[in-house]
Structure 1
Amino acid sequence: MIHCLRPLVAVLAWCAPFASALSAADWPQFRGPAAAGVDARVALPTTWDVATGKNLRWQTPIPGLAHSSPIVAGDRIYVATAASDKPADLKVGLYGDIASVNERDPQQWRLIALDRATGKVIWNTLGLEAVPKVKRHTKASHCNSTPATDGNRIVAIFGSEGLFCFDRDGKLLWKRDLGPMDSGYFQSPTAQWGFASSPIIHEGKVIVQCDVQKDSFLAAFDLADGRELWRTPRADVPTWSTPAIVETPGRRQIVVNGWHHTGGYDLATGKNLWRLDGGGDIPVPTPVVAHGLIYLTSAHGTFRPMRAIRPDATGDITPADPGQTNASIAWAHARRGNYMQTPIVVGDLLFACNDGGILTCFDAKTGDVKYSERLSTQGQGFSASPVSDGRHLYFASELGNIFVVPVADKFSVASTPSLPETCMASPAIADGMLLFRTRGHVIAIGAGR
């Protein structure tokens, strides 16, 4: 069990500089502290039944359609949404349709605060009401980005409508126009899919990665007043990845995923430190750090690499082939990566599940493949990223079926509980509770009720 706790200890130490208003029990951004997806302090239930109430703490209806994940700070859970007077259609499953949804209905972008213990709505604040500037994909929403918090302030990207900052009482403090967040397939620019990169907060800075059809950039804003601190142009295809902070002796960098420009940027100035070209041409997963390595993956097109990068990389580290290594690439597989899901490291193992439900377990240090097995034979899609309590992994299919997999180098499925609705958002963990954002609810699963 000790090996399962190591990632949590590392994550908490990493988050210490900017977590003065946060506690170890908080989940302040997409996939929790450092996007690690792990909270090993309390064992989570492996079975539940929402209909009968077994291990159900509470469930709260949430208006609108959004794939934004819940975040947790103190006694509050925050969730963002985009609501309309008309029900929004959502098409889940495995399909290759690149079309946008043809809708022009006004949306209300809202940030909602829930009581952590009961799920009761504390406040429901309207950030903006407008007709969306950019269309969404049939599987996406107008609110895909997960908010981030330092415990006192909450920031949310509402797509092309901008970057918004609220206080704990739901008061809008400031907002910034990021320009048109036109994300879609680079080979068909008219196919708009919706923005999905989430903001992160580090030492009073809000970091945003805005890779869109044109005028892409990485930028830092002051959390206190929204003042732009720096902006670095990027030349890449649209991406949906959330950036990550990596700190090593003598270097603090922001790592971003991409196709032509995966790379690291200096946290203080935005200067590019290293870059990596090639891989999957629709980058979605967030970089993950463990064992002194940065794990990066992307998919679609010819390659779908899974790679481990050394954080002291400098300059252009691009190999001749995405499966090759060099002084900056510790290990690599050209065709074992993920399309939608962010991988997860628990102990010495790296787990990666692709959109078709094939789960691959790697040795995180060496890249050796321990197994590669299919979670489901039903042809379900998998978009939500997994989380873990250090004992089990929780993979949510788009249909709301949860696959509970033991943390081990041999494949097995411990249980397959379900949710009553489709599930596209990555879950959160809050001190022994699993928080699922489904089609119309936030559902809290915890032992003892």
Structure 2
Amino acid sequence: MRNLIAAALLLTAACSACAQDWRQWRGPTGDNHAAAGATAPVEWSEDAGLAWLTPIPGRGHSSPTIVGDRIYLTTADEQEQTQSLLIVDKATGRLIRQEVAHRDGLPARIHGNNTHASPTVASDGERVFALFYQKSGARVTAFDLSGQRLWQRKVCGFDPQMYQFGFGSSPRLVDGKLIISAEYDGPDAGVYAIDPADGGEIWKAPRRPGISFSTPIDAQLAGRRQLMLSGDGLIVSYDPATGEKLWSQIASTVATCGTMVWDAENQLAFASGGYPDSFTLAIRADGEHQVVWDNSVKCYEQSLLFANGYVYGVSDRGVAYCWRSIDGEEMWRQRLGGGYSASPVLVGDAIYVSSEQGTTFVFRATHEGYQQLAENQLGTDCFPTTTPSGGRLYHRYGNGQGAQRQEYLAAIGE
């Protein structure tokens, strides 16, 4: 009996630890929701409410990935011409290891708001996978959890000519496959599934040549697993097992950056962007896949958030919105100010979203008017999305300008 109790306690502890993990872009459920019952601080500042604060070398926009007691980030140093994996102790903030994935070969030109380390690290709990744009290719390096390199593979060519803005999408693990989207004006444009064991290609879904930056997202809709992607003037769904196109609809615009969200109860999916046209839309994930509603609000780099029958977004103009998912009726709007690259994240009944000017707004996830809980400032800029785990928020931001700018990783909370 005692052995059974001990085993049950170990299993409970393991499940609890797993629930606190945030192993890839958009979190464990792909919707940027913290686990049920999760909590997070509401108020903090540079002088109060931080468990630790760690200077981060180089520059990057990858969001913190959490596996067990470690945090994984990527960074790049333009002067040294390196792209690296960083490992940070979750409890103390100590930088455990910096492991260089690439030396030299960084693209000569990228967008001023991008970095050479923007894709978020993905992990299957045993390995971590870092994606970089280097030497005219999209390249993945697999590491064990201690940072030891296991393999490195060029997934495809990536050498955009028309818009040299760099790389934007993140890898996501879906049903035992590592999914990577590389969209550009060249012959290798496509969505790829590779084997996490060795990087070998499993399937490729070709995309028309053209620049876009969104990360494909997997969801259970219309009775099947779907891998959805906006951009290229389309909303497209693929079978994640084979890469076969399930359906597509003319919608969206040429370039999008945000990841799609969905309402499983009503079989709806949502996207926003973009370039050259501004839009937010809802499309049916079943039936004829018609666009149900749309408007001209532009959430370009940042993703939307769906929660309890409503869609939330913060536009490029710094205005927060709440729409009813089934018909797009605007429930409220509120000017926050600033520009936005980070995506909103839901913890309990609170939404957290950070502006490019380093201000994090916290407000209720409710359709009954905008209800602000706090406005918090750290540093001078923020582009990555904040990661919730274990009652804390793990927040990457920058402070200063030019050569004096320094990046930090903060643990917000007790």
CA distance in 1, matches of 2:390, 2:17: 13
Of the three residues 209, 214, 229, the one matched with 2:181 is: 209
Map of 1:347-362 to 2, 5 A cutoff? 347-362=308-323
Structure 1 residues 247, 300: CA separation in 2 closer, same or farther (over 3 Å shift)?
A: same
2:270 maps to amino acid: Y
CA contact (8 A) 2:55 2:409 kept: yes
Q: 2:402 maps to what in 1?
A: none
Matched, 1:65 2:37: no
C-alpha RMSD of matched pairs (Å): 2.1
Matched, 1:140 2:136: no
Matched, 1:76 2:70: yes
Identity %: 31
Cα deviation, 1:211-242, whole Å, max 9, x if unaligned, reads 11212011111111111111121115211111
Deviation at 1:422, TM superposition (A): 1.0
Map of 1:360-439 to 2, 5 A cutoff? 360-376=321-337, 380-409=338-367, 410-439=369-398
Map of 1:203-282 to 2, 5 A cutoff? 203-215=175-187, 216-248=189-221, 251-282=224-255
CA contact (8 A) 1:236 1:260 kept: no
**TM-score, L = length of structure 2:** 0.87
Map of 1:15-414 to 2, 5 A cutoff? 23-39=18-34, 40-50=36-46, 52=47, 54-85=48-79, 106-133=80-107, 135-161=109-135, 162-183=139-160, 189-215=161-187, 216-248=189-221, 251-291=224-264, 292-310=267-285, 312=286, 327-329=288-290, 331-376=292-337, 380-409=338-367, 410-414=369-373
Deviation at 1:375, TM superposition (A): 1.1
1:173 maps to amino acid: L
2:274 maps to amino acid: A
Q: 2:10 maps to what in 1?
A: none
Secondary structure of residue in 1 paired with 2:134? helix
Secondary structure of residue in 1 paired with 2:118? coil
CA distance in 1, matches of 2:222, 2:277: 36
Gap regions ≥5 residues in structure 1: 1-18, 86-105, 184-188, 314-326
CA distance in 2, matches of 1:411, 1:355: 18
1:164 maps to amino acid: T
Alignment size in residue pairs: 385
Q: 2:9 maps to what in 1?
A: none
CA distance in 1, matches of 2:268, 2:44: 36
1:412 maps to amino acid: Q
Cα deviation, 1:49-74, whole Å, max 9, x if unaligned, reads 22x2x210111111111111111111
CA distance in 1, matches of 2:372, 2:77: 36
CA distance in 2, matches of 1:353, 1:195: 22
Q: Which has the higher contact order (CA 8 A, sep 6+)?
A: 1
2:412 maps to amino acid: I
1:392 maps to amino acid: A
Cα deviation, 1:312-336, whole Å, max 9, x if unaligned, reads 35xxxxxxxxxxxxx4236221313
Structure 1 residues 400, 115: CA separation in 2 closer, same or farther (over 3 Å shift)?
A: same
Gap regions ≥5 residues in structure 2: 1-13, 399-406
CA contact (8 A) 1:259 1:277 kept: no
1:428 maps to amino acid: T
Cα deviation, 1:266-317, whole Å, max 9, x if unaligned, reads 112111111122323321110112333222222232441322332x35xxxx
Deviation at 1:347, TM superposition (A): 2.1
Structure 1 residues 255, 357: CA separation in 2 closer, same or farther (over 3 Å shift)?
A: same
CA distance in 1, matches of 2:20, 2:263: 20
Q: 1:8 maps to what in 2?
A: none
CA distance in 2, matches of 1:259, 1:372: 29
CA distance in 2, matches of 1:208, 1:22: 27
Secondary structure of residue in 2 paired with 1:24? helix
CA distance in 1, matches of 2:254, 2:71: 34
**TM-score, L = length of structure 1:** 0.81
Secondary structure of residue in 2 paired with 1:165? strand
Secondary structure of residue in 1 paired with 2:275? coil
CA distance in 2, matches of 1:257, 1:363: 21
Q: 1:441 maps to what in 2?
A: 408
Secondary structure of residue in 1 paired with 2:198? coil
Which has a greater percent of strand?
Answer: 2
CA contact (8 A) 1:237 1:258 kept: no
CA contact (8 A) 1:43 1:391 kept: no
Secondary structure of residue in 1 paired with 2:158? coil
